[in-house]
Amino acid sequence: MGKIYCMMGKSSTGKDTLYKMLLEDGALSLKKIIPYTTRPMRRGETDGVEYYFCGEKELSGLLEQGKVIELRAYDTVQGVWKYFTVDDHQIQDLRQNYLLIGTLEAYGKLRDYFGKERVVPIYIEVEDGIRLERAIGRERQQREPHYEEMCRRFLADAADFSEEKLLDAQITMRFVNDDLKQTEENIRDYILSQND
């Protein structure tokens, strides 16, 4: 049976970078699971590429059908935005291996929904000082850097990914992302070792 690999880690640990590298690796033939959101589409975004954009009504329908695997709601200045994963056409091939980036909570829900055998955590870790330097480096390249938001996330991560929560979620394996190429290789080998 195919696996669902759930990549997790604090901000600026390199999830997005590694996610793209792993998806491009033909030997792994991983398929991405595109999440859903109720937030308005931004310029440059395409429905079904970054997210499936949908309204509250559509979300209610999916909830009624029991198709929403996990959901997070964020109270923003523009209203409440919901992000969620749906058991839809994307996840229907049982032989296929899938990859997604998730929170620790999302991982727990996916595992409850699909079963422990099918959902595999990929936890990425970087020493805090290096991670902060990378976060600043990335932010500095933005046209309008948001250092305050970056700091807020940095602090929130400590609580969201506390050792206690990691233990609760039974995350024992950690991929330390010092050297990017090496980390990609380590994850690649791990994924290949998981295939039946």
Per CB under 6 A, residues contacting ligand ATP are 9, 11-17, 134, 137-138, 177, 179-180
Find out whether 192 and 3 touch, Cβ atoms under 8 Å: no
Kindly state the smallest distance separating residue 27's Cβ from ligand ATP, in Å: 21
Please identify, using beta-carbon distances, which residue of 62 and 121 lies nearer to ligand ATP: 121
Please identify, using beta-carbon distances, which residue of 7 and 110 lies nearer to ligand ATP: 7
Beta bridge partners of 99: 5, 32
Please identify, using beta-carbon distances, which residue of 11 and 37 lies nearer to ligand ATP: 11
Kindly list the distances between the CA atom of residue 68 and the CA atoms of 7, 47, 79, in Å, as whole numbers in the listed order: 19, 18, 21
Kindly state the smallest distance separating residue 141's Cβ from ligand ATP, in Å: 8
Grouping H, G, I as helix, E, B as strand and the rest as coil, residue 87 is: coil
3-state helix, strand, coil in the chain (%, to 5): 40, 25, 35
Grouping H, G, I as helix, E, B as strand and the rest as coil, residue 78 is: coil
Half-sphere exposure of 89 (CA within 13 A, CB side): 2
83: number of Cβ within 10 Å: 17
Please identify, using beta-carbon distances, which residue of 93 and 127 lies nearer to ligand ATP: 127
Kindly state the smallest distance separating residue 196's Cβ from ligand ATP, in Å: 29
| DSSP secondary structure code for residue 41 in this structure | P
Kindly state the smallest distance separating residue 17's Cβ from ligand ATP, in Å: 3
Please identify, using beta-carbon distances, which residue of 80 and 180 lies nearer to ligand ATP: 180
Kindly state the smallest distance separating residue 34's Cβ from ligand ATP, in Å: 16
